[in-house]
Amino acid sequence: MERLKALGRGTQIMFVASVLLLIDSFFRWQEVEFDLGPLGGGSAGVSAWDNFLGIVMGILTIVLIARIIARMAAVDVPIPVSFAMTSVVFAVLIFVCALLKNLTDDYSTFWSYIGVGLAFLVAVGAWFEVQDAGGMDSLKQEASSLGSSGAAAPAAAAPAAAPPDAPAPAASPPPAPVAEEAATVAETAEAAPEAAAAEATESAPEAATAEATESAPEAATAEATDAMDSPSTERDV
């Protein structure tokens, strides 16, 4: 109780009204009486948990109670909204569900009307909590900051997706045949002098043989001519 007293007036009202509303939701919110004559009579009814609106109201009430208990226990709840924001959202939804359920259901009992009153007290406590937190202006600023942070998240994620385009330069390997052609030209240039030297070495004996073959008849003719001229010269002497 000391921790509850340490909280604001709005939180105290929300907590007490929420607990009472949760208890009230298990009583008969709709009831029908019947008379069977000689067999007697009776009544039948259902609690607030009999349809969708009642279930939603009950779940929201439980969540709000848990949120208030966590605040009393000084437990940090990792959600991006303030306690005032969550309180006013839950309180408004609880009151709307309770009111619509009471208006749409038939054979409503006084327990349903008590439930609507308790849901209204929850909304009143949330209003006091908002006033203690700085009023509606603080809620507007918080809502705008949440909207700007949500819009900035996709913008921050977009540049992060850019790096995967970096592997594109991997297409450079195709020019490899040019390097192979250059290597082939270099090998050909290196082998050319060797081939020329080998060709010269092979052709030299052939050229010498051909030259000797061509000069041999001429030398023999010249010797024969000299031999024929030499006897005539001796006879003249």
Q: What is the 3-state secondary structure (H, E, C) of the chain?
A: CHHHHHCCHHHHHHHHHHHHHHHHCCCCCEEEEEECHHHCEEEEEECHHHCHHHHHHHHHHHHHHHHHHHHHCCCCCCCCCCHHHHHHHHHHHHHHHHHHHHHHCCCECHHHHHHHHHHHHHHHHHHHHHHHCCCHHHHHHHHHHHHHHHHHHHHHHHHHCCHHHCCHHHHCCCCHHHHHHHHHHHHHHHHHHHHHHHHHHHHHHHHHHHHHHHHHHHHHHHHHHHHHHHHHHHHHC
Residue-wise pLDDT tens digits, 12-67: 999 999 999 999 999 999 998 877 777 777 788 899 999 999 999 999 999 999 99
Residue-wise pLDDT tens digits, 65-122: 999 998 888 887 788 788 888 899 999 999 999 999 999 998 899 999 999 999 999 9
State whether the Cα torsion 16-22-27-29 is positive or negative.
Answer: positive
With contact defined as beta carbons under 8 Å apart, do 11 and 71 qualify?
yes
Interatomic CA distance for residues 216 and 57, integer angstroms: 132
With a cut of 80, say whether residue 192 has pLDDT above it. no
Interatomic CA distance for residues 140 and 66, integer angstroms: 25
pLDDT score for 223 = 58
Q: Mean pLDDT for the chain?
A: 75
With a cut of 80, say whether residue 197 has pLDDT above it. no
With a cut of 70, say whether residue 222 has pLDDT above it. no
Q: What is the pTM of this model?
A: 0.59
Residue-wise pLDDT tens digits, 109-156: 999 999 999 999 999 999 998 888 777 777 777 777 777 665 555 555
With contact defined as beta carbons under 8 Å apart, do 58 and 22 qualify?
yes
Phi, psi of 30 (to 5 degrees): -130, 140
